[in-house]
Amino acid sequence: MPTLRRAVRYEQKQQRRQAILDVAWEMAQHQPHAAITMNDVADRAGLAKGTIYLYFRTKEELLLAVLEQQLRAWFDEVDVQLQQAQDSHAGSITHVAQIICASLEARPAMARLLAILHSVLEQNIELEAAVRFKQMLLKHLTRTGALLEACLSFLQPGQGAHVFLQAQALIIGLQHLADPSPIVRQALAEPGMDIFEVDFAREFATTFAALLYGIEAKGSNE
Amino acid sequence: MPTLRRAVRYEQKQQRRQAILDVAWEMAQHQPHAAITMNDVADRAGLAKGTIYLYFRTKEELLLAVLEQQLRAWFDEVDVQLQQAQDSHAGSITHVAQIICASLEARPAMARLLAILHSVLEQNIELEAAVRFKQMLLKHLTRTGALLEACLSFLQPGQGAHVFLQAQALIIGLQHLADPSPIVRQALAEPGMDIFEVDFAREFATTFAALLYGIEAKGSNE
Amino acid sequence: MPTLRRAVRYEQKQQRRQAILDVAWEMAQHQPHAAITMNDVADRAGLAKGTIYLYFRTKEELLLAVLEQQLRAWFDEVDVQLQQAQDSHAGSITHVAQIICASLEARPAMARLLAILHSVLEQNIELEAAVRFKQMLLKHLTRTGALLEACLSFLQPGQGAHVFLQAQALIIGLQHLADPSPIVRQALAEPGMDIFEVDFAREFATTFAALLYGIEAKGSNE
Amino acid sequence: MPTLRRAVRYEQKQQRRQAILDVAWEMAQHQPHAAITMNDVADRAGLAKGTIYLYFRTKEELLLAVLEQQLRAWFDEVDVQLQQAQDSHAGSITHVAQIICASLEARPAMARLLAILHSVLEQNIELEAAVRFKQMLLKHLTRTGALLEACLSFLQPGQGAHVFLQAQALIIGLQHLADPSPIVRQALAEPGMDIFEVDFAREFATTFAALLYGIEAKGSNE
DNA sequence: AATGAATGAGGATTCATTCAT
DNA sequence: TATGAATGAATCCTCATTCAT
């Protein structure tokens, strides 16, 4: 329930906005996005349906904002870890892969949102929201990419961001493979199907490390 | 349009089934799956709505069957190419990556279907259809994986299929990145956003090749 | 047609709800329930389809509410009549049967709804609606049953409600017999079939009276 | 599975028709009529869907024929019992009511079919089937009615059939009351709702007996 | 700013029945 | 007579979004 009756000042409005985001994030962690209704979000936030729309233009913008917040936190954490890795001269490929992998493993719901970013969250939004999100992504991609370059000396200037984008593709693809529908999960219980049972974190670590080794070996990624 | 009035014999039924698949595939090439309605499929196939359901239990099973057919053709083509590459001792990493990349580039709609395989096509289907699809995938993964191993001598026995699964994840992820919504495309037109403009085929070739180099360099993928 | 644009206050909402009920009742009087579509109800009420569902969860709940309203009015009328009969010491069995019969005769559509109460109206409803309806019925059964006992001195305490339930069974059964399908009506035109031509009101009066005489004669109904 | 490939002779056709009826009756005993599909009937009879339609014009005619057969058997049994009752001078009202009640209790599925006779089974049939059914009913009503008159001396000539029709109405109505939907059953679990928990057989015996006592007491039923 | 009543598009699916073979 | 492929009508309900209050 909101503490304030009317959010008049900017700060109050931000608080309310955050309260809505918190509720949506809470829900996103426990159910697929299709099961999340704006009605539920409003109810759980102690607000009226229409009020949600004062803060987010569409359901997709709301969930995109949720993902944005999670991504920010994720990037920040990765940044700290990469910084530490660099300081301690522990910037090996495996270590870097482990850092990213571990941070992802701690955020399964974020990976799930990321997996529907293009097919759902970016579908029913305004230009403004799209630009904002992409600029956020760009900023972090650049910053974290730079840190990556600092950790992995074989990366050329500017290549870090690109590698991170490749990582993003990997996350999305592996998340899809690792999260089958109930009926498919059942099908995969048949003998011989083991290959399809993908452990997201493990697979990501392996594959991303291999990718980095490849870049290192070949000297270029273009 | 169906050539036969009543599909009585098995062969005729297969023809009709194929006719429906053709229509659906045609539509899948020109519009997003959400825009495809069973009504339209029936109309374009010159059949009644109920008739479609005689051959496919749900819309998802129909589209899954479409994808299955495309994947079969794709795997077969890749197999032929890999075979040739192997025969001609041209089995370098770059060459292999090029083969797969080129075959994908010729099938944009297939890649688009693959990108929604887990989130859509595998959602409203019967166990039987799921098993059938996964077994098809398994068969081709195994066969093409073996050919891959023959081409790339650094791959260990059984690793080929796994590499192909990694390729699948890459395809899905990159397809998502490369196929933004109209509004996002507009956002990406802003200066500085170039990094997000992903050319699917080019990016796949680069990344997949890097992945293979990494596997080669590191000796293992586990 | 609704007189109010937006039903904000409780009273306004009740008015709107009533407007919908009125439309549904109007339709129920002129066509079988299967011919009533929610689309039609909405159109005739000058509302959008979704608005109907704001007031009634399913088509069955809507029609159940219609029946509920009719039953209330019916019970109320019967109560008044029984009261009068009792006051005027005219509480003979025939008189009581006549009262109920006449009130039913004035409500053919209600009897028709009552005849599908169990097979249709109570099938696709929520527990809440079921409880509400049954409690309404219980209340009236008790009240009217008590009046019946006052009119017919041979009834034991508490027997009135039970007798009314027997009357309900009779109404349902006779309504079925008296309302044949067109084709059956045609069949009954053949000579010798006269026995099947049931005049609902007349038959109810006769049979219900007989039932009461039997209870009077035997002293008990258990 | 049918023993004969092609039913050519009249006798063979009757056998096949009976086989279908048996299957339908079997199904009617275990599931509500809406759950019975012609597909299932055909499958279980080892016949093709179309073949069913060679013997019964519609689903309703099939189920009507099932009911007809059951009614025949029921009337026959009741006839035997009434005959015995008459012979043994045991033709009291209670005894007669018990006979009919017991025979009904042994046929719950028949009572269920009877309850939907007018609302369903007689709705989508041809004139011929309607006439045939009603004539069957008339014949038995007359015969059993006569036996009833023999048992219950207070009945006037011709009144027996009419009493049986009243019994039919009672059966239909009480069957509806006694067979609530799952959700209503749940609602009736609440305290105070006991009055609605109708035991079909018991209630029928009581009410029918009361009806007969009333007729006896009043001397007439018209 | 907040409310919540009103909107209405939107489409898959079943199954009794027919009829070509 | 038997088959089973083909038909197609028929409609409920959800839920994101809007906008009057």
Residue of A nearest to B113 (CA): A119
CB-based contact A125 B162, cutoff 8 Å: no
Chain C residues within 8 A of D212 when measuring between CB atoms = 214
CA distance A209 to chain B (A): 8
CA gap D95, A62 in Å, rounded: 74
Dihedral in degrees, nearest 10, Cα atoms A108, A109, A110, A116? 110
CA gap A116, A124 in Å, rounded: 13
Alpha helices in D88-192 (DSSP H): 93-105, 108-115, 127-151, 159-178, 182-187
CB-based contact A172 B177, cutoff 8 Å: yes
pLDDT at residue D31 in the model: 92
* Pairs of CB atoms within 8 A across A/B: 176
CA gap D221, D159 in Å, rounded: 8
Q: What is the mean pLDDT of residues D175-193?
A: 95
The pLDDT tens digits of the residues spanning C106-126 come to 999 999 999 999 999 999 999
pLDDT lower than 70: segments of chain A:
1-5, 91, 219-222
Phi, psi angle pair for A77, to nearest 5°: -65, -45
A34 touches chain B (CB under 8 A): no
CA gap D164, D103 in Å, rounded: 14
D37 touches chain C (CB under 8 A): no
Q: What is the mean pLDDT of residues D170-178?
A: 98
Q: Give the SS3 label for residue B11.
A: helix
Asked whether strand E has any atom less than 7 Å from the CB of B59, the reply is: yes
Phi, psi angle pair for D116, to nearest 5°: -110, 10
CB-based contact D177 C172, cutoff 8 Å: yes
Dihedral in degrees, nearest 10, Cα atoms B82, B84, B89, B90? -60
Asked whether strand E has any atom less than 7 Å from the CB of A3, the reply is: no
User: Given a cut of 70, is residue C221 above it in pLDDT?
Assistant: no
Q: Which residues contact B19 (CB under 8 A, 6 or more apart)?
A: B1, B2, B45
pLDDT at residue A91 in the model: 66
Decide: D and C in contact? Rule: 3+ Cβ pairs under 8 Å. yes
D169 touches chain C (CB under 8 A): yes
User: Given a cut of 60, is residue C2 above it in pLDDT?
Assistant: no
Protein-contacted positions of strand E (CB under 7 Å): 1-21
**A51: which nucleotide lies closest, measuring CA to C1'?**
E2
CA gap D221, D214 in Å, rounded: 9
User: Given a cut of 60, is residue D3 above it in pLDDT?
Assistant: no
Q: How far is CA B150 from CA B90, B212, C172, in A?
A: 11, 14, 80
User: Given a cut of 50, is residue D2 above it in pLDDT?
Assistant: no
C165 touches chain D (CB under 8 A): yes
**Separation of A121 CA and E1 C1' (Å):** 27
pLDDT at residue B91 in the model: 66
pLDDT at residue A36 in the model: 94
pLDDT lower than 70: segments of chain B:
1-4, 91, 219-222
CB-based contact C176 D221, cutoff 8 Å: no
CB-based contact B181 A118, cutoff 8 Å: yes
Chain C residues within 8 A of D160 when measuring between CB atoms = none
The pLDDT tens digits of the residues spanning C31-55 come to 999 899 999 999 999 999 999 999 9
List the end-to-end C-alpha distance of chain C, in Å, as a whole number: 51
Q: Which residues contact B217 (CB under 8 A, 6 or more apart)?
A: A213, A214, A216, A217
CB-based contact D172 C173, cutoff 8 Å: yes
Those chains having 3 or more beta-carbon pairs within 8 angstroms of chain C are D
Chain B residues within 8 A of A217 when measuring between CB atoms = 213-214, 216-217
The continuous run of DSSP H or E covering A122 comes out as none
**Separation of C183 CA and F3 C1' (Å):** 31
CB-based contact A196 B125, cutoff 8 Å: no
Q: How confident is the model at residue C3 (pLDDT cuts 50, 70, 90)?
A: very low
**Separation of C16 CA and F15 C1' (Å):** 22
Q: How confident is the model at residue D5 (pLDDT cuts 50, 70, 90)?
A: low
CA gap B167, B93 in Å, rounded: 13
Over chain C, what is the mean pLDDT? 92
The pLDDT tens digits of the residues spanning B203-212 come to 999 999 999 9
